[in-house]
Chain A
Amino acid sequence: MSEIHIPTLAPETIFHIGKFPITNTMVNVWLAIALFLILGLFLRKQIKLKPGKTQNFIEYFLEKLFVYFDQVTGSRKKTMQFLPITGSIFFFILLSNWLGLLPGTGSIFVGEAPLLRPANTDLNLTVAMALVSVISSHLFGLFSVGVFTHLNKFIQIGTFFKSLTKGPIAIFTAIIELVVGLIEIISEMAKVLSLSLRLFGNIFAGEVLITVISSIAVAIVPAPFMMLELLVGLIQASVFTMLTLVYLTVLTTKPHGSHDEEKH
């Protein structure tokens, strides 16, 4: 039996460019970037009003995806508005997860570190994506509902001052809302943690599983697990994207009882 090389939690540095370390997960990300670039340049020439086979297939896939997105956002307009963020997240996670199943991942070594490792087994990347997801949801929220309304969801000082003229019960409610607002701030931080750790945990666990199974039996036995990982890759991409979409939708929706809703 060959030596089992269980992936470490941290990505392995395989070489340096100047002072900067280049990890095996970065190589995987660059591979994904290269593939997207090739596909993008290919599509750029191919995209027509009357679609060819490739364009037709991608458009069919996009249409199906938009239907799911619409169910969360409630409108195609919002789906299209969030697409630069959600589309990028979905396709990137999906491709990088599936790229982790390529032959050579975890088995080709540069020194003592494997050359390829699934990109999402790097917490730096998943945290980066989670931050982009949460911060962009706040930016969209700020521009959609206005600065005051958006900030009032977390620091409800406006509500507190308004309650001062309405009596003790209103003041008591406002104090509770102020505390709830602070809890909301903590929950925003939890969003980043949950998004990044969920994706990292699932993909890392899959990679460890495949490594262990491959070291026990090289052929045939890992195949069902790899099929499972294909599914996990899709599910994790969907979960991350859908949650991002939910955050974006919730923060771009005016809260109940806001001035605009009262007017209606």
Chain B
Amino acid sequence: MFTNIAHASEVAKETAEATAESGVLASLGINGTLFIFQLVNFALVALILWFLILKPLTKKMAERQKMIDDSIDNAKKIETNLGASEKKYQEKIDQAKVDANKIIEKASLESLAVAEVAKEKTRKEIEQLVETARKNIKTEREESINEIKEQTASLVVAAAEKILGTKVDASKDEKIIDEAVKSMK
């Protein structure tokens, strides 16, 4: 009996609810309890979709985008630095070339000067040698002349002694002198 009463009360309650909600909304299926359920269901879907799928994905996409942007920025910086380095390198190379040319020019001038000095020195040495040789030749010549003179004198003396010793006539004397002179030549 109690069961029947309980069942009857439930039926009455449902009937009352149906009556209250009857009309356009009820005919379209709008029901307060179902509406709350579906709202909760949608909230659950939204939470799952956002926290498990959309948020991690968009976060990862943003991270990747940031990484790509940073990489592009870094690449640009590196490119700029490389350009500056190349410019600097080229400047250094140009400067080095200029310096090298200067050094070569200076060395060339110095070598010319050194060569000139060496040439002058050599010329002076040669002149000195020539002078010395001349002096030597002159001395030797003088010595030779002196020796010849001495020998000539000795010959003249010997020839004179011979002339005087043999007491020949004038023609003989002249002949002896000629011979002495000839022997001198």
Contact = CB atoms under 8 A, between A and B. Distances in A.
Interface of A: 8-11, 20-21, 23, 25-26, 29-30, 32-33, 36-37, 39-41, 43-44, 47-49, 51, 55, 58-59, 62-63, 80, 83-85, 87-89, 91-92, 122-125, 127-129, 131-132
Interface stretch (B34-42, B85-93, B169-177): B34-42
12 contacts: A9-B28, A33-B41, A47-B56, A59-B61, A62-B57, A80-B58, A87-B49, A87-B50, A88-B54, A122-B38, A123-B29, A124-B29
Contacts of A29: 38, 41-42, 45
A171 to B, nearest CB: 41
B48 A33 contact: yes
A54 B56 CA distance: 14
Interface of B: 26-31, 33-35, 37-39, 41-46, 48-58, 60-61, 63-64, 67
Given A29-B38, A80-B58, A125-B38, A40 B52 contact: yes
A165 to B, nearest CB: 46
B33 A21 contact: yes
B27 to A, nearest CB: 6
A88 B46 CA distance: 5
Contacts of A84: 46, 50, 54-55
Given A10-B29, A43-B52, A124-B30, A32 B35 contact: no
B31 A124 contact: yes
Given A58-B53, A123-B29, A132-B43, 18 more contacts: A11-B29, A21-B34, A29-B42, A32-B45, A33-B48, A36-B52, A36-B53, A41-B52, A62-B58, A63-B61, A83-B50, A87-B54, A88-B49, A88-B54, A91-B49, A91-B53, A91-B54, A125-B42
Q: Give the top 9 A-B pairs by smallest Cβ distance, nearest first.
A: A40-B52, A10-B29, A88-B46, A125-B38, A128-B39, A124-B35, A124-B34, A124-B38, A29-B41
A23 B38 CA distance: 10
Contacts of B30: 123-124, 127
B45 A36 contact: yes
Interface of B is mostly: helix
**Looking at chain A's contact residues, is the secondary structure mostly helix, strand, loop, or mixed?**
helix
A51 B29 CA distance: 45
Contacts of A63: 61
B58 A49 contact: no
Given A11-B34, A128-B39, A83 B48 contact: no
A196 to B, nearest CB: 10
A8 B29 CA distance: 9
Contacts of A44: 52, 56
A88 B67 CA distance: 27
A72 to B, nearest CB: 17
B29 A122 contact: yes
B45 A124 contact: no
Q: Which of A25, A39, A88 neighbours the largest number of chain B CB atoms within 10 Å of its CB?
A: A88
A87 to B, nearest CB: 5
A26 B28 contact: no
A124 B58 CA distance: 31
Contacts of B28: 9-10, 123
A26 B38 contact: yes
A145 B48 CA distance: 29
A48 B60 contact: yes
A127 B63 CA distance: 37
B45 A88 contact: yes
Given A62-B57, A123-B28, A40 B37 contact: no
A125 to B, nearest CB: 4
Contacts of A51: 60
